[in-house]
Each structure stands twice: as structure tokens, then as C-alpha cells.
Amino acid sequence: MAGITAGEALKAGAALLRSAGIDTPFLDASLLLGEILRLDRAGLILAEGTPLSPETRSLFDQSLKRRLSGECVAWILGRREFRGLDFIVGPQVLVPRPDTETLVEAALEFIDLRGAKFPEGGLLAPLSVLEIGTGSGAVAVSLKAERPALMVSASDISPPALDLARSNAQRLLGKADGVNFISGSLFDGIAGFFDLVLSNPPYVPTALLETLAPEVRREPRIALDGGSDGLDLIRPIIAGAPEHLRPGGMLLLEADPGQMPAIAALLTRQGYRNIRVFQDLSGRDRVIGGIPSGGPRQKNAVTGIL
């Protein structure tokens, strides 16, 4: 790429990624070059005719090689934008995706309706939210950022993921205690009751993991593998949530569109009502939720079953 401009380097980089079968070659190349030049996409257009220094060309070449090796752009940049916030990401967590914004939107809709229905002294009562499997903290931190009065807790089985989530909360909320992070699997270590429990659990069937894009296969298997039918984690979340939900509280789950009928059936069998499905930006069923009948259920002291 000797003696070329930013525009020429961008076109050559995009062509290289395209030849490797990468779905979004120009976008990826733009993000990589823009990061090096500290320019957004509008700035890149204005800088098309600017010659690149040897150092810049070398850095761009290295970024392209990493992308060609199967690393996702978010890992190369070290961050991912989610609901207007820049989250630090890495190999220890699933990269936040636009589809998961549907989970946040569904949560906010419920939170706002519930807060309006149960005012306290003329003010909205502080509602409580629990996220199971927080990963980078994108959902929990976004909810706290957009509704500061919320009491937000978030759990994860992975200590490295929790460390990263805490770091993101500190950076983006300006305080370490903005979200209560809990180490444990599913509802382990969870005490008290919540108005909303939500999760984007692993839901990819094990047999389909090898069919995922190379960059996705590099992400933590624990955050992807949902067992033989993709519902291995969803079943215990559905079964366990009523023990932790206040009367009228809701469970929200993100999953694959094709899994929605099976999840709806599980919710029905567990006595959930007002079951509702939410669509993502592509119009595909992405989030499903329901409200357990009656108040919080207690486990049987002998069997441990709800």
C-alpha cells in the first residue's frame, strides 16, 4: 500500500475483506481505518485524498490481518457501541449485538408502565431489576443509565466477565456501585425480590455452533452453547424466576426466533400469563416475556422444586 491515500487504502482493505467472504467488508475496513486515524465515517470521507504515513499503513495492515484471521471488529477496537454507550469488550464476553437492544426496549416498556401503575408518594417508586448472565454488563448498565432511579443487579458465572462488567459500570455510570454485580450461576446467590428478571442466555443448539461465523465461534462458548435444543439455560430460568419476582413482576428472555413457540409453551406450563413476544429491528421475534401467576413461589424444602 505504499504511497496511497486514505480513500485508496480503504477501498483496497474492503476488497481484501470481501475476497475472504466477510459480510460487511467496507464497514469493517472503515471502522478499522477510522480508529487508527481517530476519524468517524464522515471524517474518513473528507480525508479520502490524504496520504497515509508508513506507520498508519502498517497499523491498518495489522488490523486487516487480525480481521482476516477471524477476530471481530469489536475485539480489534477493544469496544462496542450499545445504545449510545461504548462498552469495553474482549474474549471473556459475548460482544453486545443490536438485536439485544430489543431486550432493553422491552424492559423499559415494562419498567415505565409498572412505575406509573405503582407510584409512591406521587413519585415513581424505585423498581428493581435482575439480569441473569450479564457478560459485558451492556444490558444492566444501559438500563441504569437510561433509568437512574432503578435498582439494578446483575449476575454472571464468569469472574472475568464480572470484572469487565464492573469496569464498564464504573466508566459509564461514574460510580462503582451503580449496578450490584453478583457472582454465581443463574439464581445462585440471589436474594430478595425484583420487579423484572431478564436474560440473554446461551441459546445456540450445540450442533449449530460450528456453523456460526468464524468471529462468533471465537466468543466464549459458555455464552453461546444452549445445549441440544438451545433451551438448557432457559428452562431453569423460567422455573426459577417466580421465586424472585414480586407479584405482577415479569420475566423477559432473548432467544432465537425459531425457539419462541417452544419457550411460550414452557412459560405456559410453568403458569405464566400475559405472554408476549417483541420483534427486533428486522421484524423477527427476538424477546419473549410473561408474568407468573400469583405471588412469589417458594421451593419445596425437600425436593428443591418450585
Which CATH number fits the domain that encloses residue 250? 3.40.50.150
Q: What angle do CA 105, 254, 194 make, to 5 degrees?
A: 70
For the chain, the domain total comes to: 2
Residue 128 CA to residue 111 CA, distance in Å, equals 9
183 and 40 inside one domain: no
Residue 50: name the closest of 12, 6, 10 by CA.
Answer: 6
pLDDT per position as a tens digit, 106-129: 999 999 998 766 555 444 568 999
Between these two residues, 294 and 248, which has the higher pLDDT value? 248
195 and 235 inside one domain: yes
User: Bridge-partner residues for 154, per DSSP?
Assistant: 131, 181
Residue 215 CA to residue 199 CA, distance in Å, equals 23
144 and 186 inside one domain: yes
118 and 221 inside one domain: yes
Indicate whether 151 belongs to any domain.
Answer: yes
Find how far residue 201's CA is from the centre of its chain.
9
pLDDT band at 1 (very low <50, low <70, confident <90, very high): very low
pLDDT per position as a tens digit, 127-138: 999 999 999 999
The pLDDT value recorded for residue 123 is: 44
Which of helix, strand or coil describes residue 85? strand
User: And the C-alpha cell for 201?
Assistant: 442466555
pLDDT per position as a tens digit, 161-184: 999 999 999 999 987 678 999 999
60 and 200 inside one domain: no
115 and 259 inside one domain: yes
The pLDDT value recorded for residue 77 is: 93
Residue 280: name the closest of 86, 85, 72, 104 by CA.
Answer: 104
Indicate whether 93 belongs to any domain.
Answer: no
Are 155 and 184 in contact by the 8 Å Cβ rule? The answer is yes
Residues 50-63 have a mean pLDDT of: 94
Q: What is the mean pLDDT of the chain?
A: 90
The one-letter code for the residue type at 252 is L
**Which of 69, 89, 115 is at the close of a domain?**
69
Which of helix, strand or coil describes residue 133? coil
Residues 61-68 have a mean pLDDT of: 94
Residues of the domain holding 112: 98-292
Indicate whether 304 belongs to any domain.
Answer: no
pLDDT band at 302 (very low <50, low <70, confident <90, very high): very low
60 and 114 inside one domain: no
251 and 166 inside one domain: yes
